[in-house]
Structure 1
Amino acid sequence: MSVTTSVDTRPIAGALGAELTGVRLSPDLPDEEVARIRAAILAHKLVVVRGQDHLDDRAHAGFVRRLGPLTTAHPTITGGQEEAAILPVDSERGNRANSWHTDVTFVDRPPAFTTLRALVLPPFGGDTVFANTAAAYAGLPEGLKTLVDGLWAEHSNDYDYATAHATTGPEGRTEEYQQEFTATIYKTHHPVVRVHPETGERTLVLGHFITKFLGYNGVDSRTLFDLLQSHVTRLENTVRWRWAPGDIALWDNRATQHYAVADYGDLPRTMHRVTVAGDVPVSVDGKRSVAVEGNADAYAGAS
C-alpha cells in the first residue's frame, strides 16, 4: 500500500542542511515524493528527517534504494546484518569517524548519497558536523581555483582515521577494526575538483583518505592539504546536527564532508548506514578518476 505525504523543507543553516517534515519514509513512497526528497538533497546537500522510529534495516535500505542502486555495506568491512547494504557505525567496535572525510573516496566510484539512521545515542555529545564542498570551492581565491582545477590526489584506505585520527575505543577493538578496514588495500587517483554529475557544480574532493597530491612531495602535500581543507571546514561552510532518536540524515556525498564528534567518552553510539552507488568523478577538463590498486566492482556494483 502506498503512503501519501506532503514534504515540507526547512533550512537549518546558511551553507547547507534542511529538515524535512510531513514525510514518513518508506519503500512505498509515491514517485513524486521520492523525487522531492532527492531534489532537496541536491539543493541543500544534507537533509534530516526526524521521527522515523518505524524504520528497520529492511525498510531503511528499501527506501534508500528508491534513490538509486545501493552499494554493499563497505568495500572491506562486512556489515554482519541480514540486509547486506547496512553498515553499522558502532563506537564500541572502534568505528569512530572523528575526522573530516567524504565517504569511501579510496575507490574509483565513491557513493553518490549516504544515509545514516540513529539507533543508540549517548545522553550528550555525538553530534555530526557537515561541510559544503561546493561552497568551499566557490569561495576560493581565483589563484587557488586555478591551482586546484588541475590538481590530482591519491586516496587510500590505508591512511585513515582508525589509525591517525581515532579516539581509542574498547581495548583491542580499534586495532581489530583497522585490520578489517585495510584487509584489501585500495588506492585511487581523483581530481581535487570534480564536476557534479547532476548539479554541474564544482566540488572539492579532499578529506582524510588523501595520502598525497600527485607531483608533490610529502611535506608540500601536507601543507597544501591543510590549506585547502581549511577552506572546506570554515564555520560558514558547515552545519552541526544534534541527533535525536528516530533521526535519519541523507546527504550528497559528492558535495560534502562530515565529521562525527567523539566527545562522549566510552558511552555507546550506534548508527546504521546505507549508501547509494556513485559514478566515477570527472575533472574540470573531462578526465576520469583512476583506480591504481584494488577492484571495487563488487562494492559499487551492488543493487
Structure 2
Amino acid sequence: MSIQVPLEESEMTLGPIGKTVATGAEVEWGMVIDYPSPNIGVTVSIDGDSMLLKSAAMGDIRRLVSEHGVVFLRGMKPMSDTEFERFAGQLGRIVYHINSPDVAAIRITQDVKLSNAVWHTDGTYHELPPQYSVIQAHSLPASGGDTMWANAAAAYRSLPDPLRKLADVLSVRHSNDWWRIVNSAPFESVLEAVHPLVQVIRDTGERALLLGRHAAHIEGFTREDSAALIELYQRHITSPEHVVRWRWQSGDIAIWDGRTTQHYAVPDYEEVRQMRRIWIAPEERPVGIADLPN
C-alpha cells in the first residue's frame, strides 16, 4: 500500500539493505513511497517534471539505492536520449558500452530478450563493473515483460556459517563469452576479470555475493566443482525471499546498485518492448574481505 506523506511532515528511518523500514521520506521534491518487498526495493512516485530531479534529489536517490538495492521511480515521462543522459549523469561518470563507444543510452529491445532472461549483474567481466545501472521503459507489451531483482547482500547474510566462511575466501572469473554465443556475436572481444565472490561495500560495510550469469569459474576448483558451487550460491541469491518483481509502466525508471543486486528480465511476451539503459562507473574495483586492512 502506498502512503502519501506531506512534504512538511515527512520522516523516514532508513536501515541497511534487506531490512524493513518505515514509509515516508524527508526530501525536497515530494513523493509517495512504498516497499514492494520487505527485503529489496523502494518505490518513489514523482509529482512533476522528471527533469526537476536535480542534485538534491539525486543525493536522496543514491541514499535510497544504498539502503534498498533498487529504486523505482514512477510518474516519469519517457526522456529523449539527451535528457536521459543528463539525468543519469547526475549519479556519476557514464560508462560507454564497448559496442557503442559514442552512445550513452543503450537501446534494449525484444530482440535480445533471451540473453537478458538470466540472472546477472551488469558488466562483471570488466575490471571495473558499473556501480549503478539506470533504465527507463519506453514501449511495453500489453502484459508481461516484468523485471526481477535479487538482493545479493541479504543472500550473503542468510548463508549458513560454513558456506559464508567458504565464500569469504573465494575468487571468481567472470566472462562475456556466453553472451557472445547467445547473441551470435563472435566478433566482439572476449572480456574477462577476476573478482572476489564476496564484495565489501566500503561506504556501508555491507557484504554481498558477486555472481550472476557472467560468473564463469571459481578459481582453484575443477570445472565440475566450480559449476556446483556457483549453482549452489546462485540458487541461494535468487530464492524468493530475496527477490522483488517490477511490473513496468511507460516512463518508469529503475536505478540499482550492481554491487548488491542481480536482475532478470522475464521473456514472457511477444510484442514490442523498448527500454533505455545507462551504466554509471564505480569509484573503485570490487573489494574483497582480503583487501580490507587488518
Per chain length, whose mean CA-contact separation is higher, i.e. which structure has more relative contact order (CA < 8 Å, sep 6+)? Answer: 1
Q: CA deviation at 1:20?
A: 0.6
2:153 to 134, 147, 166: 134
- Return the letter of the residue paired with 1:132: N
Kept in 2, the 8 Å contact 1:96–1:260? The answer is no
Cα distance 1:113–1:43, how it changes in 2: closer, same or farther (>3 A)? Answer: same
Residue in structure 1 matched with residue 58 of structure 2 by the alignment: 34
- Corresponding residue SS for 1:179: coil
Residue in structure 2 matched with residue 290 of structure 1 by the alignment: none
Mapping of residues 18-57 of structure 1, within 5 Å: 18-24=42-48, 26=50, 29-57=53-81
Cα distance 1:25–1:12, how it changes in 2: closer, same or farther (>3 A)? Answer: farther
- Return the letter of the residue paired with 2:34: R
- Return the letter of the residue paired with 1:22: I
- Return the letter of the residue paired with 2:177: D
- Identical aligned residues as a percent: 34
| TM-score, structure 1 as length reference | 0.82
Q: Give distance in 2, aligned partners of 1:89 and 1:284.
A: 35
Q: Give distance in 2, aligned partners of 1:138 and 1:153.
A: 19
Residue in structure 1 matched with residue 100 of structure 2 by the alignment: 78
Kept in 2, the 8 Å contact 1:89–1:95? The answer is no
Cα distance 1:243–1:220, how it changes in 2: closer, same or farther (>3 A)? Answer: same
Confirm or deny that 1:154 pairs with 2:173: yes
Residue in structure 2 matched with residue 241 of structure 1 by the alignment: 246
Q: Give distance in 1, aligned partners of 2:174 and 2:117.
A: 18
- Return the letter of the residue paired with 1:78: S
Residue in structure 1 matched with residue 84 of structure 2 by the alignment: 60
Q: Give distance in 1, aligned partners of 2:202 and 2:51.
A: 25
Kept in 1, the 8 Å contact 2:50–2:77? The answer is no
- Return the letter of the residue paired with 1:127: D
2:265 to 252, 257, 260: 260
Q: CA deviation at 1:29?
A: 3.3
Residue in structure 1 matched with residue 13 of structure 2 by the alignment: none
Q: Give distance in 2, aligned partners of 1:250 and 1:236.
A: 21
The farther-off stretch of 118-127 and 253-262 is: 118-127
Q: Give distance in 2, aligned partners of 1:122 and 1:158.
A: 30
Q: Give distance in 2, aligned partners of 1:187 and 1:12.
A: 35
- Return the letter of the residue paired with 1:151: L
Residue in structure 2 matched with residue 277 of structure 1 by the alignment: 281
Q: CA deviation at 1:22?
A: 3.4
Q: CA deviation at 1:245?
A: 1.0
Residue in structure 2 matched with residue 122 of structure 1 by the alignment: 141
Q: What's the CA shift string for 1:25-57, capped at 9, x where partnerless?
A: 655534322211111111111111112125221
- Return the letter of the residue paired with 1:247: D
Kept in 2, the 8 Å contact 1:27–1:66? The answer is no
Q: Give distance in 2, aligned partners of 1:36 and 1:69.
A: 18
1:6 to 9, 30, 34: 30
- Return the letter of the residue paired with 2:75: G
Q: CA deviation at 1:95?
A: 6.6
Kept in 2, the 8 Å contact 1:70–1:275? The answer is yes
Unaligned runs of 5+ in 1: 167-173, 288-303
Q: How many residues align?
A: 264
1:185 to 186, 190, 193: 190
Q: Give distance in 2, aligned partners of 1:194 and 1:253.
A: 11
Q: Give distance in 2, aligned partners of 1:93 and 1:235.
A: 25
Q: CA deviation at 1:23?
A: 4.8
